[in-house]
Amino acid sequence: MSFIDFFLVLATLLGASLEYYDYMLFNLMLPIISPVFIGSSGFSGLTSGYLVNFLSSILRPLGAFCFGYIGDKYGRRSALFLSMALMSISSLVISFLPGYSAIGFLAPIILFFCRILQVMSSAGELNGSAIFLIETFEVNGNKRFGFASGLAWFFTVLGMLGGAFASYKLGEGNWRQGFLVGAFIGVFALALRLLPKKKVVKLEECSSDKLWINFICVTLIAAGISGMFYYNMIFFFGHLQILFDATLVRKFSVYAFALYAFALLFFGILSDSLKSPFKSMFLGSFLMAVIAIPSIYFKSLYLHFLNVFILAAYVGPSHRILYLLFPPKYRYRGISVAFGIGTSLIGSLTTLACSYYIQRFPLFPGFWLIFVSSLGFCGSYLGSKIISKNIS
């Protein structure tokens, strides 16, 4: 890998990390910022905040298509640069936005539009950074796609870890500082992405016949990833902040994200050693379904570390799989749009449905986790059949 390639990869990874710092900070701060902007607290305020998340996520596929088209048509870096700029702007606005008591209904409306920008830009960043990384590895003769997948997820979750750490340290009094820091840190990532461009080899023309099957496969995998992730890393910790000491729960979320980041890298690397990269994903989705009911029944922060490790087993090698399901000409938009649909339909619905129904049926989140794990298993199984057929 050349010197320029190294810094382009570094810029891409840092950009993904910093973007998901902003994205995750919003999710983890919902128990604090919902009363400020929406005017309600407790379970009601948290559910209202998750409703904002769900409604804004409806536009995630649109953002995925727009950034995917730009990435396929004008280059991966152009799409990544634009997504980073939009994320920084939205975080800056949130950091200065007056509360409900000051401007009334304008507060949740502006917050909603800021969240739309965050969701749309994250839709362009998550898969785009991984695609850029794996393609760079491939051009340079490195076929360790599992390592590239784990590395992309590792840096993405490092950003989430930063958001978790900021939510733990800042708390209720200084939460605006977290968004302000995220906005200005984003300027650093934008500067890195202005590094000189290398000459890009024109992507080959290829047929789009039967890609709809691949599209369904990616959608199911995304539904599994987002459903399991939003349950384990967003809903669970948000729910426990209402029931227990919020500061302690946020502290545990920092540890959980740290474990998750390194476990993702481990399982990504491990998938390069396995004859089939799907083994880790099959096992992860199966074990997640097994532990689903005990997880919500015991509500143990310590037991939840097992959930996080199992989640990483499924997610770690997933970029490697998604990369192989689409040809280069359609790769960015195909993966991003399918992933965006799966995430918007299942991911954000997970937090909304679980926070609403747990008050009526305490074990509902456990059965929901079984459902999304099953979607992920089906997507992995379909992907294994498609890739095996293409290879043969």
CATH number of the domain encompassing residue 301: 1.20.1250.20
Whole-number Cα distances in Å, 76 to 127, 197, 338: 10, 11, 17
Range(s) of the domain holding residue 227: 3-197+206-391
Q: Lowest-confidence range among 5-9, 35-39, 100-104, 341-345?
A: 5-9
Instruction: State mean pLDDT over 138-160.
Output: 87
pTM for the complete prediction?
0.86
Q: What is the pLDDT of residues 211-221, one digit of tens each?
A: 889 999 999 99
Percent of the chain scored above 70 by pLDDT?
89
Residue, of 56 and 190, whose pLDDT is higher: 56
**pLDDT at residue 206, rounded to an integer:** 40
**Three-state secondary structure call for residue 167:** helix
Mean pLDDT of all residues belonging to the chain: 86
- H or E stretch at 28: helix 3-28
Residue 30 confidence (pLDDT) above 70: yes
**pLDDT at residue 200, rounded to an integer:** 43
Domain count across the chain: 1
> Which amino acid is residue 270, in one-letter code?
L
> Which amino acid is residue 66, in one-letter code?
C
C-alpha 311/C-alpha 349 separation (Å) is: 18
Q: Under 8 Å CB-to-CB from 353, ≥6 apart: which residues?
A: 364, 368
**pLDDT at residue 376, rounded to an integer:** 97
What is the b/e burial string over 281-306, where b = at least 16 CB atoms within 10 angstroms of the residue's CB?
bbbbbbbbbebbeebbeeeebeebbb
Residue 29 confidence (pLDDT) above 90: no
Whole-number Cα distances in Å, 29 to 22, 23, 70, 225, 373: 11, 10, 32, 22, 26
CB 3 within 8 A of CB 9: no
